[in-house]
Chains A and B, each alone.
Chain A
């Protein structure tokens, strides 16, 4: 079972330079947990940082005409909006894609570390840089790939991130995204996503049934997707991704 303070500690340790006193202080930060159902807004005020302990969350933007673009998808162990430690306003909203368990920590207590440890801002910038790399790949995905490759690419990314988070490959993955969610993340209509999933299935590249995804041959799927895990900065190669 994931614990809020452990996740914060591991993220803040990643960029190096966190001393023992600060590590102990992070482990002792007051945090609390809340449960969410699917399709609920996770919008703690700007003074709260949230940690995804269980479930799936997306970051999205609503456009003037009501269209929704999903700009990021988060899995257990992610801290989706760490940037709010540095920037006072957020241009993204967050919504649950499944039942979720979420940890909350007062942002100011984390900001208090900034003046005495460079390790914390460095870690925040590292996380922001990784999410920028993912967003960049998504821009290229929507602008430069055919529909079938777009959906395949998104699914490759999610599976690779799940593998990395769990440190192991699985034969099936619980993916709670609806076809509408997949369309909102890839700039495709729900009808189009449905057609693409059928084609992926008929070519035996993947099987997605009631939220259970299986990929018979990940190399073949990665080729169709043009997927290279390098932009994720995870140990993808160790998990069978080229």
Chain B
């Protein structure tokens, strides 16, 4: 099963046939080097692109040369579901690590969605969750102190990796540089270094190279006020399910 289908199962109950139909659309899997663009600014988008492996980011170059990272795309995430709806991109997507990306041909995707409403709803869910994540990021970047900002980002990425089978409650890989984390949270990379030290000293995280382990995940989540409701996970749960 592709990470896309693993993720979409949190948005709606999918049958084995649904998963096969979705995974069968994935074509053109290819490797993209770290720091290369996957989608360029203003590129007209025809097919939906999908991350299968690695970390990618949505970014904008700001006047003055600063880069702002507005989203991370993890395995199973779509690069441009919004752009396909609106017909154009107004920012770029780049591979952060080496990535494997693939395409979903738009016409075939439309046909599958028309034929199987369950699949359509799972994809709607993915579009809505992407937007919900942005609003949570606003609150995070706008209001939390630096140590809680970083902790919150870590908690979110860990959970999103866990649902596609790439992290556990005690360990995740975080292949982001201090500079990238700084461009995400609107703080300098020097400051990120200091904040990481604080989190380590409080025994909230233990770093080993690009790996992070969590002695007590609940304590970390509590520390940064992380509440996963905005990810709308768990299609089986009636209050977060898509409205049908």
Contact A128 B62 (CB under 8 A): no
Q: Is B134 close to A, CB under 8 A?
A: yes
Interface-facing stretch out of B18-26, B120-128, B169-177, B193-201:
B120-128
Contact A129 B127 (CB under 8 A): yes
Q: CB-CB < 8 A to B134: which residues of A?
A: 132, 135-136, 139
Contact A143 B68 (CB under 8 A): yes
Known contacts: A71-B138, A135-B134, A139-B141. The answer to whether A129 contacts B82 by CB under 8 A is: yes
A131 to B90, CA, bound (A): 13
Q: CB-CB < 8 A to A65: which residues of B?
A: 225
Interface-facing stretch out of B48-56, B154-162, B209-217, B233-241:
B233-241
What does the 1/0 interface line of B32-67 toward A look like (CB < 8 Å)?
000000000000000000000000001010111011
A163 to B58, CA, bound (A): 29
Q: Is B105 close to A, CB under 8 A?
A: no
Task: Find the B residue at minimum CB distance from A65.
Answer: B225
Q: CB-CB < 8 A to B82: which residues of A?
A: 128-129, 132-133
Q: Is B242 close to A, CB under 8 A?
A: yes
Q: Is A24 close to B, CB under 8 A?
A: no
How far, in Å, is B126 (CB) from chain A's closest CB? 10
Residue picked from A72, A115, A143, most chain B C-beta under 10 Å: A143
Contact B229 A187 (CB under 8 A): no
The A interface, classified by DSSP as helix, strand, loop or mixed, is: helix
Interface-facing stretch out of A37-45, A80-88, A203-211:
A80-88
How far, in Å, is B160 (CB) from chain A's closest CB? 16
Q: Is A91 close to B, CB under 8 A?
A: yes
Restricting to A90-136, which residues have a CB under 8 Å from any CB of B?
Answer: 91-92, 107, 111, 114-115, 118, 121-122, 124-126, 128-133, 135-136
Task: Find the A residue at minimum CB distance from B113.
Answer: A118
Q: CB-CB < 8 A to A72: which residues of B?
A: 135
Contact B243 A88 (CB under 8 A): yes
How far, in Å, is A105 (CB) from chain B's closest CB? 15
Contact B243 A69 (CB under 8 A): no
A120 to B2, CA, bound (A): 29
Residue picked from B67, B68, B86, B138, most chain A C-beta under 10 Å: B138
Contact residue among B62, B71, B242 (Cβ-Cβ distance under 8 Å from A144): B62
Contact A231 B127 (CB under 8 A): no
Q: Is A34 close to B, CB under 8 A?
A: no
Residue picked from B66, B117, B134, B232, most chain A C-beta under 10 Å: B134
A164 to B131, CA, bound (A): 23
Contact A88 B239 (CB under 8 A): yes
Q: CB-CB < 8 A to B64: which residues of A?
A: 146
Known contacts: A86-B128, A133-B86. The answer to whether A142 contacts B141 by CB under 8 A is: yes
Q: Is A186 close to B, CB under 8 A?
A: yes
Chain B residues bordering chain A, tally (CB within 8 A): 54
Contact residue among A89, A124, A142 (Cβ-Cβ distance under 8 Å from B232): A89
Restricting to B117-147, which residues have a CB under 8 Å from any CB of A?
Answer: 117, 120-121, 124-125, 127-128, 130-132, 134-139, 141-144
Restricting to A129-166, which residues have a CB under 8 Å from any CB of B?
Answer: 129-133, 135-140, 142-146, 149
Q: CB-CB < 8 A to A136: which residues of B?
A: 58, 60, 70-71, 91, 134
Contact A71 B139 (CB under 8 A): yes
A87 to B58, CA, bound (A): 24
Q: CB-CB < 8 A to B30: which residues of A?
A: none
Q: Is B104 close to A, CB under 8 A?
A: no
How far, in Å, is A241 (CB) from chain B's closest CB? 14
Q: CB-CB < 8 A to A89: which residues of B?
A: 229, 232, 239-240
Contact B66 A135 (CB under 8 A): no
A229 to B155, CA, bound (A): 33
Q: Is B79 close to A, CB under 8 A?
A: no
Contact A233 B135 (CB under 8 A): no
A226 to B132, CA, bound (A): 25
Q: CB-CB < 8 A to B142: which residues of A?
A: 69, 142, 184-187
What are 10 contact pairs spanning A and B, CB under 8 A? Answer: A89-B240, A128-B82, A139-B68, A139-B134, A139-B138, A139-B141, A142-B138, A143-B70, A186-B142, A233-B86
B residues apposed to A, CB below 8 Å: 58, 60, 62-64, 66-71, 81-83, 85-86, 90-91, 114, 117, 120-121, 124-125, 127-128, 130-132, 134-139, 141-144, 183-186, 225, 229-230, 232, 238-244
